Structure 1
Amino acid sequence: MSALRLVVFDVDGTLVDSQRTILESMRRAFEAVGVTQPTREDVLGIVGLSLDVAMAELAPDAPRETHHALADAYKSAYVDRRAREGTKLSSPFFPGARDTLMSLAAREDLLLGVATGKSRRGLDKLIAGHGLEGVFVTEQVADFHPSKPHPAMLEAALAETGVQAQEAVMIGDTSFDMDMARAAGIRGIGVGWGYHDAARLSAADRIIERFDDLPAALDDIWRRDT
């Protein structure tokens, strides 16, 4: 059994609430490209997927070139809003997220990681904007992996840290996160404050409703193994 345990976090909808920025950026992207606007529910339903997969879901009848154009327009709109508002306003922490994250990062038995549909550049900007440098020892992004729920991100996180799957937990707000965890042989904790309803998190081992509940939920999961 590994001496260290790994806790991997999704970002949007789990650590930070970027809902306003995502919705506005999608609206501007679809407007710029001239494609029928998706509903709010449809947009929030694809958060966590890589952009190319997300755009194909939101505009299924459009050709691939249009999906690429939508993705480029979305990135441009997202960067513009972040530049105008700053990271702390465009992607604020959920209540309790920062304190819990710092508490877990201080534990000698835990390593923290990220598995996100964000690009490398987007994650770097978020980490710098929130002052999270050095918190995560493994950072898996959409640039180098298939979209969630493919397990590649978590498999890479395990390989980088040397932690066994049974000693790792994925924290996320979407079915993509929980399905990815299950595919990688990792347990999943779903969060009730994110972008997918709890009913969609059927692959989760448990669901928590407050960030403050996370440390106890982690300890309980691993206690059952002893």
Structure 2
Amino acid sequence: MIADVDGTLVDSNYQNIVAWYRAFRRCGVTAPMWRIHRAVGMGGDQLVAAVAGEDVEDQHGDEVRAAWAEIFGPMLEEVAPLAGARELLVAVKENGHELVLASSGKPDHVDHYLDLLAVRDVADAWTTSEDVEATKPAPDLLAVAMDKVRGEHAVALGDSIWDCQAARKLGLPSIGLRTGGFGVDELAEAGASKVYDDLPALRAELDRLPFAAKAQ
């Protein structure tokens, strides 16, 4: 299993939305919060242009990302695990699968989440923004996740359409969660073979996940 972290295992999406909104404002750009919400799940390398356009990316992209990191950092203490997160990951391992946490977060944020979830001894590997040049919806992060455990078959788990699109580009099935605020139809259209309301519901059907080989 390749599991997304933000919004999937930890309840951090709305802190991210506020931090991005404030970061844009700091750089003289007022981006509608609903549009930021729709882009959360992308990495910061993709989000600025998706929300505010290529001109803002060219003129202020690095500045916005630096402001986001500064603003979001103090919010980390507000982030809590989603119900059933650790229990699901333990069950994945007990079912005999390897587990990679596929985050495009900054390394220090990923470290914080590993400790918050208490899964350093559960996950086989994890990723950060430093592992790839292009984050979701590009498939690179998922490919790195598979390579870290030399995986041949996988299923991706995420809360956004960007997770599902990245998996589809790699030829992998995906499972969607409604915890990111996307609708069931949206996640299914993006490639999710099934959508669950929460992690405990997914855990109850863990043995039905559609593991498949990565496209060559």
70-79 or 112-121, which deviates more? 112-121
Q: Does 1:125 align with 2:119?
A: no
Instruction: With the length of structure 1 as denominator, give the TM-score of the two structures.
Output: 0.83
For residue 32 of structure 1, what is the aligned residue in structure 2?
A: 26
Q: Which has the higher contact order (CA 8 A, sep 6+)?
A: 1
Counterpart of 1:192 (choices 163, 169, 178) is 178
Q: Secondary structure at the match of 2:180?
A: coil
Q: Corresponding residue for 1:174?
A: 160
Are 1:120 and 1:143, in contact at CA under 8 Å, matched by a contact in 2? yes
RMSD (Å), alpha carbons: 2.1
**Could you say if the C-alpha distance between residues 63 and 12 of structure 1 is closer, same or farther in structure 2, counting changes exceeding 3 Å?**
closer
Q: What is the aligned partner in structure 2 of residue 3 from structure 1?
A: none
| Equivalence for 1:99 | 87
Cα distance change, pair 62–222 in 1 and its aligned pair in 2 (3 A): closer
**Per-residue deviation, residues 10-59 of structure 1 (Å, max 9, x unmatched):** 111111111332122123212221211x2222111111211121011222
Instruction: Indicate the SS of the match to 2:179.
Output: coil
Q: Does 1:212 align with 2:179?
A: no
Asked if residue 69 in structure 1 is aligned to residue 63 in structure 2, the reply is yes
Kept in 2, the 8 Å contact 1:44–1:196? The answer is no
Is the aligned partner of 1:148 residue 2:148?
A: no
Number of residue pairs matched? 208
Q: What is the DSSP-based 3-state SS (H/G/I as helix, E as strand, rest coil) of the residue aligned with 1:98? A: helix
Question: Which residue of the other structure, out of 39, 52, 65, is the alignment partner of 1:59?
Answer: 52
The answer to whether the 8 Å contact 1:114/1:139 transfers is yes
Query: CA distance change for structure 1 residues 154 and 208 in 2, over 3 Å: closer, same or farther?
Result: same
TM-score of the pair, normalised by structure 2? 0.86
Shift of 1:63: 4.8
* Counterpart secondary structure, 2:123: coil
Structure 1 runs of 4+ aligned residues shifted over 4 Å read none
1:50 paired residue number: 43
Q: 1:155: Cα distance to partner?
A: 1.6
Q: 1:19 is matched with which residue: 10, 13, 27? A: 13
Structure 2 SS opposite 1:43: helix
| Structure 1 gap segments, 5+ residues each | 1-6
Q: Which runs of 5+ in 2 are unaligned?
A: 212-216
Aligned partners of 2:23 and 2:210: how far apart in 1? 44
Q: Equivalent residue for 2:75?
A: 81
Secondary structure of 1:111 counterpart: coil
CA distance in structure 2 between the aligned counterparts of 1:212 and 1:128, rounded to whole angstroms? 21
